[in-house]
């Protein structure tokens, strides 16, 4: 059955708690990238138009509760106040901010809300019990609202008080962002138009074991780039120099290579460097000639052409993880060219699964060239692994 969405709720005059993902980068009190705020606006604007009394909750950064001094420093660094200022610029209603996460000040701020107004609550991680899904905290927060909407896809893989605990108590629904994420990722991974090509990059095999396993079952081709490719090449008996290697994953890589014969595609050449630095000496070499004192930091030109070739005719493409150290210009070509090739596929459904690949696509200017760029790194990975996401599982089914 399908989950309820915010459209299924009667929200007028009701206190609606919305779990958003406002975990944005802040430097010296200024927000460096407001993409996550922008992504939440369709749900927020809808609730404003419908006359709801909107209580927004989000985490921001990490708060260590073990040492009082560290806790105080983390709280100061991860204060949500600048987010309220930025949000107020983007909506056509009053935005209040409450610097407390519980108590009379917060309760008074909730009581003061009029229809169509917004209250942003302080960072949920100020509360020690948040990440433990503390029942008492969940019950308290639920008492502030009448309804609950989850619109923080980047957090639905975590069973916290603000993602699961409140939803266990209040009538609940998906916001538009989470609805779109579930719809787009679900279609791409579980109902793909074929051929279906998956591209996996990033540093480590260990980060993506379950994803590789699941995609080997459901994709037509799985292309491997990034640092993780070198563990696979080593498993094939190649010399990889000083390239990234997870020695404890070699047997697993061999198993994947065996299972993925004809399906798993590795790079054939590399941009290698004498050091992990932008100004290092570089050499373009094939798989059999990686120098002993060099490391592979990007896929090479022949690999780019190979991957482009494998993408030809694809009707569904899912991409997660860059092809090299794209933050450094000499090692950005692989990620850039793969990004470009995916974006130019005619009539294909193209999905980026969050994290570094999403950052790369946006940074390289391809933001509007994909069918969908996921807002959740960890959540989209777990979705692609076939795992149940607790923050979605808890939401009520449509009646």
- Widest Cα–Cα separation across the chain: 69
Q: Which of 145, 321, 355, 377 is catalytic?
A: 355
Q: Which of 204, 283, 340, 369 is catalytic?
A: 204
Q: Which of 36, 53, 234, 242 is catalytic?
A: 36
Instruction: Render 28-63 in DSSP notation, one character per residue.
Output: TTEES--HHHHHHHHHHHHHHHTT-EEEEE---S--
Known active-site residue 129: no
Question: CA-CA distance, 161 to 163, in Å (whole number)?
Answer: 6
214 contacts: CB under 8 Å, gap ≥ 6? 189, 384, 385, 386
| Sheet strands side by side (includes 221-224) | 264-265, 221-224, 196-200, 316-320, 349-352, 372-373
- The CA–CA distances, whole Å, from 122 to 25, 31, 284, 328, 399 equal 16, 16, 51, 36, 34
Mind spelling out the 3-state secondary structure of 82-137? HHHHHHHHHCCCCEEEECCCCCHHHHHHHHCCCCCCEEEECCHHHCCCHHHCCHHH
Known active-site residue 226: no
Nearest to 259 by CA among 218, 289, 230, 291: 218
Q: Which of 51, 61, 129, 378 is catalytic?
A: 378
Report the C-alpha dihedral over residues 168, 174, 180, 184, rounded to 10 degrees.
Answer: 40
> What are the backbone dihedrals phi and psi of residue 54, each rounded to the nearest 5 degrees, phi first?
-100, 125
Cis peptide leading into 195, omega within 30 of 0?
A: yes
Question: CA-CA distance, 145 to 83, in Å (whole number)?
Answer: 21
Query: What does the angle CA 287 – CA 291 – CA 292 come to, to the nearest 5 degrees?
Result: 115
Known active-site residue 378: yes
298 Rama class: left (phi>0) / alpha (psi -120 to 50) / beta: beta
Question: CA-CA distance, 391 to 369, in Å (whole number)?
Answer: 29
Give the catalytic positions in this structure: 36, 204, 355, 378
């Amino acid at each position: 059955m399908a989950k309820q969405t915010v459209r299924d709720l009667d929200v007028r005059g009701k206190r609606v708690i919305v779990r958003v993902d406002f975990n944005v980068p802040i430097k010296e009190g200024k927000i460096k990238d407001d993409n996550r705020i922008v992504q939440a606006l369709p749900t927020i604007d809808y609730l404003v138009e419908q006359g709801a009394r909107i209580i927004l909750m989000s985490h921001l950064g990490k708060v260590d509760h073990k040492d009082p001094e560290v806790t105080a420093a983390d709280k100061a660094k991860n204060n949500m106040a600048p987010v309220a200022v930025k949000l107020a610029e983007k909506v056509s209603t009053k935005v209040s901010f409450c610097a407390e996460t519980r108590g009379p000040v917060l309760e008074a701020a909730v009581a003061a809300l009029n229809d169509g107004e917004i209250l942003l609550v302080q960072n949920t991680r100020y509360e020690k019990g948040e990440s433990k899904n503390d029942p008492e905290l969940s019950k308290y927060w639920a008492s502030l609202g009448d309804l609950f909407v989850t619109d923080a896809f980047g957090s639905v893989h975590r069973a916290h008080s603000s993602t699961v605990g409140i939803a266990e108590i209040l009538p609940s629904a998906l916001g538009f962002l989470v609805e779109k994420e579930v719809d787009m990722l679900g279609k791409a991974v579980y109902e793909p138009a074929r051929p279906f090509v998956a591209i996996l990059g990033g540093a480590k095999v260990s980060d993506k074991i379950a994803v590789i396993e699941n995609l080997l079952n459901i994709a037509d081709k799985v292309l491997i780039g990034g640092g993780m490719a070198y563990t696979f090449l080593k498993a094939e008996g190649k010399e990889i120099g000083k390239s990234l290697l997870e020695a404890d994953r070699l047997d697993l890589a061999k198993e994947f290579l065996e299972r993925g014969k004809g399906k798993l595609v590795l790079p054939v050449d590399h941009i290698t460097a004498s050091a992990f630095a932008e100004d290092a000496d570089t050499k373009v070499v094939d798989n059999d000639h990686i120098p002993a004192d060099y490391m592979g930091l990007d896929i090479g030109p022949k690999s780019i052409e190979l991957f482009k070739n494998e993408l030809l005719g694809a009707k569904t493409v899912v991409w997660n993880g860059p092809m090299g150290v794209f933050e450094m210009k000499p090692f950005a070509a692989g990620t850039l060219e793969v990004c470009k090739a995916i974006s130019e596929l005619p009539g294909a459904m193209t999905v980026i699964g969050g994290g570094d690949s999403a950052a790369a696509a946006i940074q390289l200017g391809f933001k509007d060239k994909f069918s969908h760029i996921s807002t959740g790194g960890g959540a989209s990975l777990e979705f692609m692994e076939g795992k149940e996401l607790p923050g979605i599982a808890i939401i009520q089914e449509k009646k």
